[in-house]
Amino acid sequence: MGLLDNRVAVITGAAQGIGLEIARAYLAEGARVVLGDINGEAAEKSAAELVAATPGAAAIGARCDVTSEEEVGALVKRASSEFDGLDVMVNNAGITRDATMRKMTLEDFRAVLDVHLVGSWLGTRAAGAVMRERKRGSIVNISSISGKVGMLGQTNYSSAKAGMVGLTKAAAKELAYLNVRVNAIQPGLIRTAMTEALREDIWQQKLSEIPMGRAAEPAEVASVALFLASDLSSYMTGTVLEVTGGRYM
């Protein structure tokens, strides 16, 4: 028996990185998964590769621009129609447009808030509408430690990630009586293609702030997302779990 047997999960931003690892973890525990991504072809390719690597797995990939109410609704509807329900929603899609506040454009500020915060609100609302009728479900919002402490050059990203914490807590209060749980994860320094492109001095400076002395692998975030999706966290809602190696504790 897997932790997510007979459950259906939707994950945004799932063609690569943390989202893809969450999809992999969910499939391994018996879930049927819909991978949404702004790059629909990449989502379809990743879904096919996961199915090929996991005997008996069921996964589909689809394009989803999380800033579009229609596309988010269509992604949730596809999960419900093709897999007969929705039990888990992971709002993971994200972008960065880093610059100091003096140099950041209003366009770049709004773009980051639209993807992270508005996208998570649209995903939470669409999933919540299905889950409230089923009287069960788990919504997981992927925030960031940047939303706790604020990062230089990331007034847009830090604002969006902090807003996701407020969204998580407010939505959790609205949906708790329906047995729908809403929780958030705040990852710290995760070893991804984006972070590995950092200059060596910046990478080392970030590592020096981590008591455990290393960056996390995407699978280490995925395991926490698995915990929040499963019945192991059945009495948890409105919580924010830090996956940071002790950074900024």
- Active-site residues, by number, are 157
160: tokens are 């969006």
Distance CA 97, CA 225 (A): 25
Give start and end residues of each alpha helix (H) in the chain: 17-28, 40-53, 69-83, 106-113, 119-134, 146-149, 155-175, 193-196, 200-208, 218-229
Spatial separation of the C-alpha atoms in residues 238 and 230, rounded to whole Å: 15
Q: Can you give 122-183 as a three-state secondary structure string?
A: HHHHHHHHHHHHHCCEEEEEECCCHHHHCCCCEHHHHHHHHHHHHHHHHHHHHHHHHCEEEE
Instruction: Give yes or no for a contact between 75 and 127, defined as CB atoms under 8 angstroms apart.
Output: no
Whether the Cβ atoms of residue 145 and residue 244 lie closer than 8 Å to each other: yes
The residues near 103 (Cβ < 8 Å, ≥ 6 apart) are none
